[in-house]
């Protein structure tokens, strides 16, 4: 426990930086001298205009985006993007390539197929229960775009580097590792990320879209399902999720001013992940579920010798102030999600608990 707060390893909604929560608390009843809460101010006010513009600016600074990229905030979560992407970019007679690395990419493929779109699975790790990231990916040069899920929260796998597409626009679901490390944005036509894992609360999806992609969008789509609607109105065609955007702004400020940018965040994340992976690599009691060269820096997934021990581990962990260690219901086991806001103190405390639990039960 950290005071009266647990060590939070939830997979999403997930931990937020304590200083961000404290700033929200301080301004919740009277934001910036307005006499109103942040959840009461008008989205047409100067207060919110400053918030959303600062969130966009900080996103561009952290990711080194130039003016050819637009930063949008859209409701509906990442799951809404599963249908918006093929609706906006894939016309009759065209095809798109998807890499299937588990649950979320499987759902993205399914949503495109529901719309009657032609999808080619360029590579898949289903043959080994999605325990690895495919290395050999052959994209179709005639495809309209290539889609990947950068990090698999359920199976604990992650692209260590992004595949070469030979000019094909890459679309990335980065819901669980956005802002966790620097990367080359230029090969991406679109990036989307549900906020509730690494950059904010539930209720908003960050979309980063290249301007040339906006030119491909058909006019006949419903207004709220077109990226141009959000790009043309600075994400304020209708009332945006103001509180969620405000929290993202504070998290981005924390990343810049407290952490010092994505290079430093990446170093912290690697150190924390190594601490946990070392804990079960040196043990016969804990077994990782992801193949070593595909391990996620965000979601550390592991099993114990049997399900009874796993239940006891999760129960005793909760009694000792560790929250969110139960694996996803679809796979069972255990999972520690160590997103940006997770502290080294929390990770080290968990590693110590794992050792003591093994000593008593191994």
Q: Read out DSSP for 279-333?
A: HHHT-SS-EESS-GGGB-SSEEEEE-SSHHHHHHHHHHHHHTTEE--BPPTTT-S
How many residues are present in the chain?
362
Angle at 21 between CA 337 and CA 272, to 5 degrees: 30
- Same domain assignment for residues 120 and 266: no
Residues facing residue 100 across a β-bridge: 124
Alpha carbons 60 and 191: distance in angstroms, whole number: 13
Tens of pLDDT along 240-266?
999 999 999 999 999 999 999 999 999
Residue 1: which pLDDT band, with cuts at 50, 70 and 90? low
- CATH number, position 296: 3.90.1150.10
Residues 6 or more apart in contact with residue 22 via CB below 8 angstroms: none
Span 149-158, mean pLDDT?
98
Average of per-residue pLDDT across 167-177: 97
**Per the domain annotation, does 282 fall within a domain?**
yes
Identify whether 355 is part of a domain. yes
113, 205: one domain: yes
Among candidate residues 234, 258, 282, the one where a domain is terminated? 258
pTM over 0.85: yes
Residues 6+ apart with CB under 8 A from 57: none
Residue 91 assigned ligand-binding role: no
Ligand-binding annotation for 44, yes or no, is: yes
CA-CA distance, 326 to 321, in Å (whole number)? 14
Q: Out of 173, 177, 254, 266, pick the active-site residue.
A: 173
239, 258, 277 - which closes a domain: 258
Residues 177 and 207 in one domain: yes
Are residue 61 and residue 90 in the same domain, yes or no? yes
My answer on whether 326 and 232 are in the same domain is no
Domain with 336, as residue range(s), is 7-20+261-361
Q: Is position 25 within any domain?
A: no
Same domain, residue pair 292 and 314: yes
Same domain, 319 and 187: no
- pLDDT one-digit tens code per residue, 111-140: 999 999 999 999 999 999 999 999 999 999
pLDDT of the residue at 152: 97
2 within some domain:
no
Q: Is 165 annotated as a binding residue?
A: no
The answer to whether 270 is annotated as binding is no
Instruction: Check the annotation: does 79 bind a ligand.
Output: yes
Whether cis (ω within 30° of 0) applies to the bond prior to 268 is no
- Which pLDDT band holds residue 362 (cuts at 50, 70, 90)? confident
Q: Report the alpha-carbon distance of residue 229 to residue 139 in Å, rounded.
A: 30
Q: What is the pLDDT of residues 24-72, one digit of tens each?
A: 999 999 999 999 999 999 999 999 999 999 999 999 999 999 999 999 9
* Domain count across the chain: 2
Radius of gyration of the chain (CA): 21
Residues 39 and 167 placed together within one structural domain of the fold: yes
pLDDT of residue 4: 84
* 335 touches 300 (CB < 8 A): yes
For this structure, is 104 an active site residue?
A: yes
Examine residue 318 and state whether it is found in any structural domain, yes or no.
Answer: yes
173 is catalytic: yes
Domain shared by 82 and 156, yes or no: yes
Alpha-carbon distance of 214 to 347, in angstroms, equals 42
Dihedral sign for Cα 77, 79, 85, 87, please: negative
Q: How far is CA 149 from the centre of its chain?
A: 9
Q: Please, are residues 280 and 286 in contact by the beta-carbon 8 Å criterion?
A: yes
Helix (H, G, I), strand (E, B) or coil at 270: helix
Same domain, 36 and 140: yes
Tell me, yes or no, if 197 is annotated catalytic: yes
Indicate the pairing of strand 205-210 with strand 188-194: antiparallel
Is residue 82 included in any domain, yes or no? Answer: yes
131 marked ligand binding residue = no
Which one of 197, 254, 266, 326 is the catalytic residue?
197
Q: How many CB atoms lie within 10 A of CB 108?
A: 25
Residue 239 labeled ligand binder: yes
Strands of the sheet with 299-303, listed across from one edge: 287-288, 299-303, 334-337
pLDDT > 80? residue 3: no
Same domain? For 62 and 165 the reply is yes
126 inside domain: yes
Is 173 flagged in the annotation as binding? yes
Catalytic residue (one of 47, 104, 177, 266): 104
What are 306-337's pLDDT values in tens digits? 999 999 999 999 999 999 999 999 999 999 99
**Is there a domain that residue 1 lies in?**
no
Share of the chain above pLDDT 70, in %: 99
Whether residue 186 is found in the same domain as residue 334: no
Residue ending a domain, among 258, 287, 319, is 258
Q: Say which CATH number the domain at 119 has.
A: 3.40.640.10
Alpha-carbon separation of residue 342 from 92, 103, 153, 277, 299 (angstroms): 45, 24, 15, 16, 11
Percent above pLDDT 90 for the chain:
98
């Amino acid at each position: 426990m950290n005071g009266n707060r647990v060590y939070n390893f939830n997979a999403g909604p997930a931990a937020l930086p304590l200083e961000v929560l404290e700033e929200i608390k301080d301004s919740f009843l009277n934001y910036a001298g307005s006499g109103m809460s942040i959840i009461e101010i008008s989205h047409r006010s100067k207060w919110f205009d400053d918030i959303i513009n600062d969130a966009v600016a900080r996103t561009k600074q952290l990711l080194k985006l130039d003016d050819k990229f637009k930063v949008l905030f859209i409701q509906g979560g990442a799951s809404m993007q599963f249908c918006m992407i093929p609706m906006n970019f894939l016309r009759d007679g065209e095809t798109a390539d998807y890499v299937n690395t588990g649950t979320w990419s499987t759902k993205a493929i399914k949503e495109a197929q529901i719309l009657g779109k032609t999808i080619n699975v360029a590579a898949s790790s289903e043959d080994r229960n999605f325990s690895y990231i495919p290395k050999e990916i052959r994209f179709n040069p005639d495809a309209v775009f290539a889609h990947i899920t950068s990090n698999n929260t359920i199976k604990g796998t992650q692209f260590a580097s992004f595949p070469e597409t030979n000019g094909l626009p890459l679309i990335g679901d980065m819901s669980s590792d956005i802002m966790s490390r620097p990367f080359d944005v230029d090969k991406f036509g679109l990036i989307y990320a549900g906020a509730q894992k690494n950059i904010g609360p539930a209720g908003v999806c960050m979309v980063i879209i290249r301007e040339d992609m906006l030119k491909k969008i058909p006019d006949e789509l419903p207004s709220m399902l077109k990226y141009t609607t959000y790009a043309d109105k600075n994400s304020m065609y209708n009332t945006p999720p103001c509180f969620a955007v405000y929290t993202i702004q504070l998290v981005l400020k924390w990343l810049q001013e407290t952490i010092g940018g994505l290079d430093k965040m990446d170093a912290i994340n690697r150190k924390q992940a190594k601490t946990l992976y070392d804990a079960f690599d040196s043990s016969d009691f804990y077994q990782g579920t992801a193949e070593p060269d595909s391990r996620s820096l965000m979601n550390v997934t592991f099993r114990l010798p049997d399900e009874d021990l796993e239940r006891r581990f999760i129960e005793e962990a909760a009694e000792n102030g560790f929250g969110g260690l139960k694996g996803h219901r679809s796979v069972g086991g255990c999972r520690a999600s160590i997103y940006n806001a997770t502290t080294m103190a929390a990770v080290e405390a968990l590693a110590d608990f794992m050792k003591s639990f093994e000593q008593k039960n191994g």
